[in-house]
Amino acid sequence: MSTIAENIAKVGVRIDAAAQAANREKSAVGLLAVSKTKPAEAIREAFRAGLRDFGENYLQEALEKQQQLNDLPLVWHFIGPIQSNKTRPIAEHFDWVHSVDRLKIAERLSAQRPAGLPALNICLQVNVSAEDSKSGCSPDEIYTLAHAVTQLPNLRLRGLMAIPEPTDDPVLQREAFAKLRRLQETLNLPLDTLSMGMSHDLEAAIAEGATWVRIGTALFGARDYSS
Ligand SMILES: *Cc1c(COP(=O)(O)O)cnc(C)c1O
């Protein structure tokens, strides 16, 4: 079994190789460690191996781990579906939110962001695979949503996020990520972030311009949802 530090090194090699193949600086691709379902101790271990940014999907679980880790200077990213009655703790306890897909959620996050904290970094989640069950706004809605979000005082719109339908075909992987990149370009806004790519498709995402890859399994091992 490999340790988290070994896994981080392996993922680092994959990111460097993909960046080089795409003629991009490796420093342009951030590694967001997705720690959902994993204990605080795993995050501590990843921190010791050099990681600072952690992504969580489940609010209650994230808040508990933040408590246990409040001695560390971590950057917290919320990446899961957002119910409107959960926006306040998200606005209070996170640095980034990658999964905003409607204006009502953005308005609440802005209104509930505590004074004294910097603007909350926002990515808008787009459903690039047109699956009914998935969260994310439709590509048709993104222009209006993005321009409305730029007007909210306590948010800083950084870019777009997607979770394409899983496929092992690298050509299809790249098509979905290219769609997100092109959509971002059509917005005509000064955005610097594309949050795309997970353990199985980070190479395709980096080839299409990912600036955050969100990696869980390849760092922390398979998740166990049974308990
Ligand atoms: C779980 C999750 C990930 C990480 O997926 P892996 O395949 O384990 O790397 C990335 N992004 C989001 C939004 C997730 O929910």
State residue 133's pLDDT score: 59
Whether 215 has a pLDDT exceeding 70, the answer reads: yes
User: Which pLDDT band, with edges at 50, 70 and 90, does 196 fall under?
Assistant: very high
User: Which pLDDT band, with edges at 50, 70 and 90, does 130 fall under?
Assistant: confident
Average pLDDT value for the chain: 96
User: Which pLDDT band, with edges at 50, 70 and 90, does 2 fall under?
Assistant: confident
User: Which pLDDT band, with edges at 50, 70 and 90, does 190 fall under?
Assistant: very high
Orientation angle between helical segments 40-48 and 4-21, nearest 10 degrees: 60
State residue 227's pLDDT score: 63
Q: Specify the ligand 1 atom closest to the Cα of 218.
A: 9
Give residue-wise pLDDT tens across range 62-111. Answer: 999 999 999 999 999 999 999 999 999 999 999 999 999 999 999 999 99
What is the C-alpha to C-alpha distance for residues 218 and 55, in angstroms, rounded to an integer?
A: 14
Sign for the CA dihedral angle at 101, 102, 104, 110 comes to positive
Is the CB of residue 163 below 6 angstroms from any atom belonging to ligand 1?
A: yes
Is the CB of residue 199 below 6 angstroms from any atom belonging to ligand 1?
A: yes
Is the CB of residue 34 below 6 angstroms from any atom belonging to ligand 1?
A: yes
Q: Specify the ligand 1 atom closest to the Cα of 198.
A: 9
Give residue-wise pLDDT tens across range 13-25. Answer: 999 999 999 999 9
Is the CB of residue 77 below 6 angstroms from any atom belonging to ligand 1?
A: no
State residue 210's pLDDT score: 98
User: Which pLDDT band, with edges at 50, 70 and 90, does 218 fall under?
Assistant: very high
Is the CB of residue 215 below 6 angstroms from any atom belonging to ligand 1?
A: yes
Q: What is the CA(215)–ligand 1 centre distance, in A?
A: 6
User: Which pLDDT band, with edges at 50, 70 and 90, does 141 fall under?
Assistant: very high
Kindly report the number of other CB atoms within 10 A of residue 60's CB atom: 10
Q: Specify the ligand 1 atom closest to the Cα of 99.
A: 13
Residues forming a β-bridge with 30: 212
Is the CB of residue 198 below 6 angstroms from any atom belonging to ligand 1?
A: yes
Whether 117 has a pLDDT exceeding 90, the answer reads: yes
What is the C-alpha to C-alpha distance for residues 89 and 47, in angstroms, rounded to an integer?
A: 24
Classify strands 75-78 and 53-56 as parallel, antiparallel or unpaired.
parallel
* Matching residue, tokens 């926006």: 87
State residue 153's pLDDT score: 98
pTM: 0.97
